[in-house]
Structure 1
Amino acid sequence: MGSLPYGTALIVGAGAGISASFARALAAKGVKVALAARDVAKLALFAEEIGAVALPVDASDPAAVRALFSEVESRIGVPEIVLYNASGRVRGAIAELDPEAVRRAIEVSAFGGFLVVQEAAKRLLPRGAGAILLTGATASVKGFAQSSAFAIGKFGLRGRAQSAARELSPQGIHVAHFVIDGAVRSATRPDPAEAPDSTLDPDDIAQAYLSVLTQPRSAWSWEVELRPWVERF
């Protein structure tokens, strides 16, 4: 893996798992990191551990996202890497779902992604360089029963990524969407003893994100699918 061509990063929807692993990997390479989430208190210890800035944001609020980017600029500079890792979930039968809960889930997964990509593009276009990454899921390409709100949001985020890649890549900004096709390993969801590596290790996912950031522009990926070796296609 080559050296990263970027020195600052913003992760929106930061928390345990993928975003924490990615933040730690970036910090280890000397990248200045800003972490943003609705509940900023949960980020305090981790931010201190890796020397990151922790900031609050409601990713579905245009004014809040604008304020976040302005604050990040004042604290660490323009974020040259931006990861959108936030998503909204509400499960239930279609006939029984609360429309307002569905609206909120879609706003976080899809509309929030639009807002963050837009603010990132405003700052990266004048530079002609940078990277915008978006975390997707199996639901980005396959809608499951009882999960229509999540599928709508993730399908929308994938469309946002594809459209942004076609528009921004020719202007020097690498846009990439990651389909996380499987369960992500955690302290509360470890691999079963009889099935090692049957879930995705967030540290390994982070390495995949890093590898995309080092791709030469003659061979950029706009989408990468990651799944455990036992996952069925």
Structure 2
Amino acid sequence: MDGLPYSRALVIGAGSGISAAVARAFAGAGLKVALSARDTGKLAGLAAEVGAATFAADASDPAAVERLFAEVDGAMGAPDVVVYNPSLRARGSLLDLDPEEVRRAIEVSAFGGFLAAREAARRMVPLGRGALLFTGASASVKGYALSAPFAMGKFALRGLAQSAARELGPKGIHVAHVVIDGGVRSASRPEPADRPDSMLDPAAIAETYLSLLRQPRSAWSMEVELRPWVETF
């Protein structure tokens, strides 16, 4: 299993981009992979590629998250790696934002992370092992104008990761928060021809997630920041 001390991974908020690259990297390293999203229809190609099972769930709904983990338990066994990837943006001026849209953005970006962490911990703590990885963003550490809801959600997710790492680390569970500080390359968002490597490559991001799983517990990272070499910060 490529030297990994884990065997089963659940990627919540799966889709294209980072989560798909992480699923490919994990499967390539020998992990069984489960993919979760609100709409599993979009996961058919990726699931077939990596041999993953798919599960429909609203990551911000407590009952849905409990059901998701129970279904994964039954399908492949309790996951010993959980990746929380969902986020929701609500852009606009503080004067104009719809409070319900703001609430929803925070529920998806942060509250769902708590729900996933709780269910993961319920399974990992009795075993004394596991890994819980959270996908952050530039907004995790810097609030931009017209993007307060995203910053609120990502700041909260980072706080959750820090608290969970301090609580669960001594119990054998590796908690890490990955700050994606820059634009992520995709088919619909290619980097400028005159600025090669100016955007983050999802496959390169996934290598960092995989490297976190390989870290010996005597030198665990709690937070990793990733940015292209030309990114300002």
Superposition TM-score tier, normalisation by shorter sequence = over 0.9
Pairwise CA distance, 1:14: 0.3
CA displacement 1:149-198 (0-9 Å, x = unmatched):
00000000000000000000000000000000000000011111100000
Secondary structure class of the residue paired with 1:47: helix
Residue type of the alignment partner of 2:118: Q
Pairwise CA distance, 1:116: 0.2
CA displacement 1:183-221 (0-9 Å, x = unmatched):
000001111110000000000000011111111111100
Pairwise CA distance, 1:29: 1.5
Q: TM-score, normalised by structure 2?
A: 0.98
CA distance in 2, matches of 1:19, 1:45: 13
Pairwise CA distance, 1:46: 1.2
Matched ranges for 1:171-186 at <5 A: 171-186=171-186
CA distance in 2, matches of 1:3, 1:94: 49
CA displacement 1:4-33 (0-9 Å, x = unmatched):
111100000000001000101111122110
CA distance in 1, matches of 2:84, 2:207: 16
**Which residue does the alignment assign to 2:130?**
130
Gap regions ≥5 residues in structure 2: none
Pairwise CA distance, 1:106: 0.4
CA distance in 2, matches of 1:187, 1:4: 31
Secondary structure class of the residue paired with 2:115: helix
Secondary structure class of the residue paired with 1:94: coil
Say yes or no: does 1:71 pair with 2:87: no
**Which residue does the alignment assign to 1:54?**
54
CA distance in 1, matches of 2:170, 2:211: 20
Tell me whether 97-106 or 42-51 shows the greater mean CA deviation: 42-51
Residue type of the alignment partner of 1:107: E
CA distance in 1, matches of 2:25, 2:179: 20
Pairwise CA distance, 1:77: 0.6
Instruction: Using the aligned pairs only, state the percent identity.
Output: 66
Pairwise CA distance, 1:3: 1.7
Matched ranges for 1:26-105 at <5 A: 26-105=26-105
CA distance in 2, matches of 1:210, 1:32: 14
CA distance in 2, matches of 1:49, 1:33: 11
Secondary structure class of the residue paired with 2:126: coil
CA RMSD after TM alignment: 0.7
Pairwise CA distance, 1:48: 1.2
Residue type of the alignment partner of 1:64: A
Pairwise CA distance, 1:38: 0.6
Matched ranges for 1:146-225 at <5 A: 146-225=146-225
CA distance in 1, matches of 2:146, 2:190: 24
CA distance in 2, matches of 1:24, 1:130: 19
Secondary structure class of the residue paired with 1:184: coil
Residue type of the alignment partner of 2:93: A
**Which residue does the alignment assign to 1:117?**
117
Secondary structure class of the residue paired with 1:225: strand
Secondary structure class of the residue paired with 2:155: helix
Secondary structure class of the residue paired with 1:191: coil
CA distance in 1, matches of 2:29, 2:141: 33
CA distance in 2, matches of 1:64, 1:138: 29
CA distance in 2, matches of 1:91, 1:45: 31
Residue type of the alignment partner of 1:80: D
**Which residue does the alignment assign to 1:144?**
144
CA distance in 2, matches of 1:49, 1:216: 30
Q: TM-score, normalised by structure 1?
A: 0.98
Pairwise CA distance, 1:44: 1.3
